[in-house]
Chains A and B, each alone.
Chain A
Amino acid sequence: DTAVSQTPKYLVTQMGNDKSIKCEQNLGHDTMYWYKQDSKKFLKIMFSYNNKELIINETVPNRFSPKSPDKAHLNLHINSLELGDSAVYFCASSQEGGGGPRNEQFFGPGTRLTVL
């Protein structure tokens, strides 16, 4: 069984379009994350939700909007796509509980977004 899944795996779209990437985890974790990995493999945190509450909101364009309908899902919606949005987007989850964040994150397989 896949622990953290993302759909779609590949996304090719035109500039200006709006697209969404979905993420689901079946690990029962309380915290979920979105990362962006650029062409040089550099990984950067974008957003994080803990128990459906937004706790990390990095400096990303407001065209990017996360939505967490429940603790098992964290979706990423991107408006007005630009060439520079082309990257691999990873979802991750961890179980942090009430003792502060100290646990490892489990990553999904990634979504490769190509904007033409």
Chain B
Amino acid sequence: AQSVAQPEDQVNVAEGNPLTVKCTYSVSGNPYLFWYVQYPNRGLQFLLKYITGDNLVKGSYGFEAEFNKSQTSFHLKKPSALVSDSSLYFCAVRQGDSSYKLIFGSGTRLLVRP
């Protein structure tokens, strides 16, 4: 069965420091991986995705993520955090071309302090 794990409920980082939000997945076959951000009282916004190709994927607002097949991970990163990055982040996985179903992780709250 497909699953996604976000092991940290919350990540705290100082503004200007690099940030990492962790995600590991379990899926049979090739994974399609996504990161979304949810601002308070709003729907999810797409940040980036990995389908195939380069393991390092660049997305919106300066975020990037690295696909690591051996570690089954897709961690979200940003070189320099902003206070405005504080929000709830979700990792999600699809089972390649065979499934329309997107399985979400439990979410990680990112808090960037000034």
Contacts and interface: CB of A to CB of B under 8 A. Distances in A.
Contacts of A84: none
Nearest to B90: A43
B34 interface: yes
A102 B34 contact: no
B45 A41 contact: no
Interface residues of B, number: 26
B100 A48 contact: yes
Nearest to A40: B106
B83 interface: no
Contacts of A106: 46
B88 interface: yes
Interface string A92-106: 100010011110111
B76 to A, nearest CB: 15
Interface in B28-85: 32, 34, 36, 38, 41-46, 49, 51
A45 interface: yes
Interface of B: 32, 34, 36, 38, 41-46, 49, 51, 88, 90, 94, 96-104, 106-107
Q: Enumerate the 5 nearest inter-chain pairs by beta-carbon distance, A residue then B residue, closest first.
A: A100-B97, A107-B43, A104-B46, A43-B104, A107-B44
